[in-house]
A and B are shown apart, each in its own frame.
Chain A
Amino acid sequence: MNSGSSDRSPKCFLNQNWDRSVDHISQFGSALGSFMSPQSSFELERGLQRLGHLSEEVPPQSHFMDSSGNSQPWEGNLALAHLDQFPADPGFAERAARFSSFDGQSYGWFSGQFELPGSGKPSTAAIIHSLTASGLQIGHLESNRQIPVSNGLQLKMNCAGPAISREETSLSDPIPASNGKKRKAPSKSKEKDAASPKPSTDPPKVADEEDSDTKRCRSSGKIHEIGIDNVKPKLEQNDGARSNGNDEQKQRKAGNDKPSEPPKDYIHVRARRGQATDSHSLAERVCDECYLEIQMLAFVSVDDSDHSSTVHQVRREKISQRMKLLQDLVPGCSKVTGKAVMLDEIINYVQSLQRQVEFLSMKLATVNPQLDFDNLANLRAKDICGPVPNSAYSPEMSMVSSYADVPQQKDILHSIATNGMDFHCSMNMLDSTGHQDLNAHQACLGGFGDASSQLGFFWEDDLQNIVQMGIGQDQETVGSSHNFHGGTSPAAQMKIEL
C-alpha cells in the first residue's frame, strides 16, 4: 500500500502543484525551464517522474541523520540531503524543501521520518505514518508559538483522526523524548493543537487554527465565529480533502510566529484576509501577519502618549518575529542566541546557498552543454539557413556572418550543427585544428546540439578558435575532460555576456 500510495502521490503532488504553482513552485518550473527548452522541460518533467524509479541508484549526497535533529551542519546541504533521499517524488521533494524550510521547527520530525521507516526511500505514506506517530506523542502546546501550521494539522487530522483528538492542548511545554528529533517542539504542539478538535484551552488559539483552516480552505470571505463547533466541520472538510491536504501541507507550511496576544478582533480580521494569503509564500504570510498585527495593536493601544513607544515596540516585535522566521529557515540556528550570531549564520547560509547555485549551474553547464540557456530555445535552426552547399567556404562565411549579426547567428550556427551536411562543411573548416573525425559524425550528431549551443553562447567574441575547439571537443566524448574545459568557457562566457 505504501508503494501504491507513493506511486500515486508523486503524480498527485506534481499535478496539483503545477496547477497551483506559486512562487517557489513556479520557480522550480522556471528554474528547470530556464535550463532547458520548453520541449525538453516537459520531457524533464517526465524524466523526473522516471527518476523515481532510478532513485535506488542515486545515493544520498549527504548524510544528515541526526537523532536530535538540531546540530546538523547546513553546509552539508541540510535541506537537500533529505531531498536526495526523496528522488522518488521530485515535486514532493521540492515541496519538502519548502516544507522544511518553511517550518524549521518541524524539520526535526521531518528528519525523524527518515529514521522511523528505517532506511531507504521513505514514501509519502511512511511520512504520514511517522507524522501520526510523532504527533501522538506530543502533548503540549506553547502559548507563545501560534504557528498556523495548517497543512501539518490537516495531515494530522487526516491521518491520526481520533488519536489526535485525544491529545491535550495544554499550555505547558514538556518535550517528550520523541520530540528530541524535532527542532522546535512548540511547532509540533502547534500542529497538534491545531489538529485537536477539542481545544480545551484558549478560544483565540482555536480561532487561530480555524483561521488557518479558513485560509487553507479558501473560505476566507466569512468571518468565522470563535467556537469549538466550527472546528469539527473543518475536520470533516479536511478529511474529505486528504490528498489535497497532503499537498497543501507541503505547499502552505508556514512557520510564522505570532505574539500570543490575539484578541478576538484579530481573528476576525485574519479571516477576512485569508483569501489574500491563500497558498502564498512564507514571507508574504508574514506580511499579512504584520499587517494584522498592526491592526491588532492599533485596536489595543489607545494611549497617545505611548504612541511612539508602542510603534517602537511594534517594530521590535515584528523584527524579532522575522528573526525567528529566519531562525527556522536556517538549519542549526535554533540553539543560537543573540542577534549578531544569528545574523552571521543567516548570512553564511545565504552565501552558501548562492555558491551552491553557482556551482550547480556550472556543473550543469559542463555536464550537459546541450541544454539551451535563455532564449536559445527559441532557435529554429532550419529557417534562417537553408541547405548549405557542401563546401568549406560557405559555412565559414555563415559563421563569420553569424558573428556579425546577432539574431541570425544562433540560428545559423544551430543549423550548421544540426545539419549533417553542415557537419561536413564544418569538418572541413576544422581541418586546420586537426579534429578530423568523420566517423564521429554519426556518433556525435547529438553533440551538434552541444556545439550549437556553445557556439551560440559566444558569438560576439572572437572565438572562432574556441568555437572550433568546442566543436572538436564535442566530437569526442561528451563527458571528456576536454569537453569540460570547452564547457567551462562557454559557461563563463555566457555568464559574462548575459
Chain B
Amino acid sequence: MAAEMGLARSSRHWSRALRRRLLLLRRGTASDGCGCQNEALTSSKEGGDLGVGANEEEAVEVEARVRALQRLVPGGEELGTERLFEETADYIEALQVQVSAMRTLACLLDELREKRG
C-alpha cells in the first residue's frame, strides 16, 4: 500500500488511475469499474496497427496480450495501444525505481538493525 502510494505520485495516466484506485479502496467502495469504453476501439485498431505482416492468428494473440497488459497497468483499459505502451514504459520505470528504493531501504534497515545488535 505504501509502495503504491509512492508510485501514485507521478503525473502519468497510470499513476492517476492508481491514485483513483487507492482512493476507492480507502473509501471502502469496491468498485473497480474503470472506463472500458475504449477497449472496443482498441480491438478495432489492433489488426491494422500492429504490423503489416501480422496474420489473423498473430493479431488475435497480440491482442490478447495487449489486453493482459491493459489489466496489469493501472488505468490501462482506457488507453489505446500506443498510449498503453507509453504508459507501460513509464510504469516499468517507476516500478524499477520503487523496487530499488525499497530494496535499498530494506538493506539499510537490516544494517541498522544488525548494528543495533
Instruction: Describe B's contact surface by its main secondary structure.
Output: helix
Interface 0/1 of A316-333, CB less than 8 Å to B: 101110110110011000
Q: Which of A22-30, A190-198, A406-414 contacts B (4 or more CB under 8 A)?
A: A22-30
Q: Are B69 and A350 touching (Cβ within 8 A)?
A: yes
Q: Is the CB of A322 within 8 A of B112?
A: no
CA distance A91 to B107 in the complex (A): 15
**B3 CB → nearest A CB, Å:** 4
In whole angstroms, what is the CA distance A322 to B81 when docked? 9
- Give the bracket for the number of chain A residues in contact with chain B: 35 or more
State whether the Cβ of B34 lies closer than 8 Å to any Cβ in chain A.
no
Pairwise interchain contact A343-B62, C-beta atoms closer than 8 A: yes
Query: A322-B82, A350-B91, A367-B109 in contact; A61/B103 too (CB < 8 A)?
Result: yes
- CB pair B96 A98 closer than 8 Å: yes
Q: Which of A26, A44, A90, A349 contacts B10 (CB 8 A)?
A: A26
Q: A283-B89, A350-B88, A357-B99 are in contact. Are A23 and B1 (CB under 8 A)?
A: no
Known contacts A31-B3, A79-B96, A98-B97: A360-B103 contact under CB 8 Å: yes
- B107 → chain A closest CB, angstroms: 5
List, in ascending order, chain A residues with CB within 8 A of B58's CB: 338-340
Which of B22, B68, B81 is the one whose CB lies under 8 Å from A319?
Answer: B81
Bound together, the chains give a CA A355 to CA B109 distance in angstroms of: 21
Contacts of A208 in B (CB 8 A): none
Residues from chain B with a CB closer than 8 A to the CB of A353 are 92, 95-96, 98-99
Given A30-B9, A350-B88; A339-B94 close (CB under 8 Å) = no
Q: Which of A46-54, A216-224, A387-395 contacts B (4 or more CB under 8 A)?
A: A46-54
Q: In the complex, which residues of chain B have a beta carbon less than 8 angstroms from the beta carbon of A114?
A: none
Provide the B61-94 mask, 1 if CB < 8 A to any CB of A, else 0.
Answer: 1100110110011000000011001111111111
Partner of B3, one of A34, A344, A346, A478: A34
In the assembled complex, which residues on chain A have CB atoms less than 8 Å from the CB atom of B69? 343, 346-347, 350
- Residue A433, interface by CB 8 Å: no
Question: Once the chains bind, are B72 and A282 in contact (CB under 8 Å)?
Answer: no
Residue of A nearest to B5 (CB): A34
A27-B9, A364-B109 known; A356+B99 contact, CB < 8 A? yes
B7 within 8 Å of A by Cβ? yes
Distance to closest chain A CB from B69 (angstroms): 5
Cβ–Cβ < 8 Å partners of B91 in chain A: 350
* Among A80-88, A124-132, A135-143, A170-178, the stretch in contact with B: A80-88
In angstroms, Cα B90 to Cα A349, docked, is 13
Question: Is A93 positioned at the interface, with any CB of B under 8 Å from its CB?
Answer: yes
Does any Cβ of A come within 8 Å of B33's Cβ? no
Q: Is B6 an interface residue (CB 8 A)?
A: yes
In the complex, given contacts A34-B5, A350-B69, A357-B7, what are 14 additional A-B residue pairs having Cβ atoms less than 8 angstroms apart? Answer: A24-B97, A27-B101, A47-B108, A84-B103, A87-B104, A90-B104, A97-B100, A101-B96, A102-B93, A353-B92, A353-B95, A361-B3, A363-B106, A367-B113
Task: Give chain B's interface residues, CB within 8 Å of chain A.
Answer: 1-7, 9-12, 22, 25-26, 45, 48-52, 54, 58, 61-62, 65-66, 68-69, 72-73, 81-82, 85-113
18 A-B interface contacts by CB (under 8 A): A23-B93, A32-B101, A35-B3, A79-B100, A80-B100, A98-B93, A282-B89, A282-B93, A319-B50, A325-B86, A339-B58, A340-B58, A340-B61, A343-B65, A343-B68, A367-B109, A494-B1, A495-B1
Interface residues of A (CB under 8 A from B): 23-24, 26-28, 30-35, 44, 47-48, 51, 54, 57-58, 61, 77, 79-80, 83-84, 87, 90, 93-94, 97-98, 101-102, 281-284, 286-287, 290, 312, 315-316, 318-320, 322-323, 325-326, 329-330, 338-340, 343-344, 346-347, 349-351, 353-354, 356-358, 360-361, 363-364, 367-368, 373-374, 478-479, 494-495, 498
